[in-house]
Chain A
Amino acid sequence: MKKNVLFSRRRTALRRILRTLVCLLLVQHILGVGLLLPRQAIRQVEQRSGVTGTRVVARRWMPKLYATHLLYLTENEAATQLCDTHWTIFGWEGGFGWTLDCTTGEPLYIAERSMSRSDETLWYYYGRVDNVRIADISVSVQAEEFADGKSVSREVDRFTAAKGDWLTKEGRRYFLLRQADGTWPYEQERRRAFAVALDAEGKELFRQEIEQGTFSYY
């Protein structure tokens, strides 16, 4: 009489888990969906930017745009990146990211990242400080208009990195600031942002316009 093979529940479960893992691997790698962890989605964004071997410096939960919206500040020796992800029916889905190339020998690398959905807009400023004299960073947001052929700018907001905005990873200093109010009511004026580097006494060392970054609309 043919002997039936009686599998234990453990063996049955392990076989199912193995099949599921293979299925997930194929779906995730080939189709890029079914990601179970937010870090996997961030990794996808990084791959599109050509950045490899990164470590997470900071993670922020920002439910204003999506209930599951997560921001990741990641880095390696050559790059700093701010990416985002949120949960969808396809699993965790990567949003957008902007990579700061930190190999050019600058004392300060900074970029702007804004995200908008419906009536909500978030503005983030992030980067890396490679000069030990820089003790603090302020961001000056200015509205520029043209009058009589001349450019006239005025400061409409200024905010300084708080203690919690400074981060350290692998001996390098990073920062991640968020502008508290992301609304921009100055429709006829152009937005410009400047990074102001301050020393330990609060004295301005230099300022530079923030020209790198990206704007995402969801």
Chain B
Amino acid sequence: MERGEYCDRVLAALRRLTPEERAAVRSEIDGHIEDHMESLLELGYTPELAQERTMAAMGDPEAVGRGLEAQYPLRWLLLGRCAVVLAVAACLQALLAVGMLGMVWDSVTARIYPNEESRMNGVAATERVNVRVPVGDDVLRVYRLAVGQRGEVPGLWEAEVSLCAYDHLPGGIVSDRLLSATQVKNERGEASSHGGGRGSWKADYTRLYAPLQPGDTFVTLEYERLGERVYLELSLPGEGIS
């Protein structure tokens, strides 16, 4: 029996293989036959005898085929193909949703170096800070404090507290209620006004303003929701206002 005939008879017994699997099995059997024949040739066998002895050693091709068939159960083929279909579907969905990557970048910058523009026109003092408070699954971060005037109300001095929020996991979803429920109060307990911001699913930014009077040295950051409470004193930069 020739090598090719042997492989054909083995593969004929394998009914449920894919073309790739058939090619792999053929290559494997070919390799075994080749190795066996090489060994016999090295021992001095003639090529015809080496082939004859190799074919005999390989065994009955139909029996070999039946034995191999059992190594290829249908359920694994179906599972593998379902996995491929799912992966392709996920990639297509990812292509359609690629615009979300901008939000991921937001999440990264909020963690590393948030730097939204200040709305202060006349700044007396400003300071970058790094206060991070865990709130549920999110992180509330104060990254800049400034004392100055926005110019909206003449003569009004304010503290500007720049905040951002992001999920504790990189790329995770942040609560859109976190910054909206956060307040900044001055020493007299007067609450802040929100000075605008921007947000996405992955990061939120805002600025809070609290009115100041001469001699004020700190403002307090407060958050309370769903039984969770945050209270922080933030020292104003510079010497405040005089």
Residues of A whose CB lies within 8 Å of any CB of B are 1, 3-4, 6-10, 12-13, 16-17, 19-20, 23-24, 27, 29-34, 44, 47-52, 77-79, 89-91, 99, 101, 103
Render B80-118 as a binary contact track against A, CB cut-off 8 A, 1 for contact: 100110110111011011101100100000000000000
Contacts of B176 in A (CB 8 A): 48-50
Q: Tell me if B218 is interfacial: C-beta within 8 Å of chain A.
A: no
Judging by beta carbons under 8 Å apart, are B100 and A4 in contact? no
Mark interface residues in B102-139 (1 if CB within 8 Å of A CB, else 0).
00100000000000000000000000000000011110
A19 contacts B83, CB within 8 Å? yes
Sample of 17 A–B contacts (CB below 8 Å)? A1-B31, A4-B24, A9-B72, A10-B73, A13-B83, A17-B79, A23-B90, A24-B87, A31-B94, A31-B101, A32-B97, A48-B176, A48-B201, A50-B135, A50-B136, A50-B137, A52-B137
Chain B residue nearest in CB terms to A88: B93
Contact code string B194-232 (vs A, CB < 8 Å = 1, else 0): 000000010000000000000000000000011110000
Residue pair A9, B73 in contact (C-beta under 8 Å): yes
- Kindly list chain B residues whose C-beta atoms are within 8 Å of the C-beta of A103: 226-227
Contacts of A50 in B (CB 8 A): 135-138, 175-178, 225-226
Measured in the bound complex, the distance between the Cα atoms of B104 and A101 in whole Å is 29
Please, how many angstroms separate the alpha-carbon atoms of A24 and B201 in the complex?
A: 19
17 more contacts with CB within 8 A, not counting A30-B100, A47-B137, are A1-B35, A4-B24, A6-B24, A7-B24, A9-B71, A10-B76, A13-B76, A16-B87, A20-B86, A24-B90, A30-B101, A32-B100, A50-B175, A52-B136, A90-B97, A99-B226, A103-B226
Kindly state the separation between the CA atoms of A49 and B176 in the bound complex, as whole angstroms.
Answer: 6
- Closest Cβ–Cβ distance, residue A115 to chain B (whole Å): 19
Is B77 on the interface with A (CB-CB < 8 A)?
yes
Residue of A nearest to B137 (CB): A52
Q: Which of B58-66, B141-149, B155-163, B164-172 contacts A (4 or more CB under 8 A)?
A: B164-172
In the complex, the answer to whether A34 meets B136 with C-beta atoms within 8 Å is: no
CA–CA, A50 to B97, complex, Å?
Answer: 23
Q: Is the CB of B89 within 8 A of A47?
A: no
Closest to A19 in B: B87
Q: How far is the CA of A6 from the CA of B24 in the complex (A)?
A: 6
Question: How distant is A65 from chain B, measured CB to nearest CB, in Å?
Answer: 22
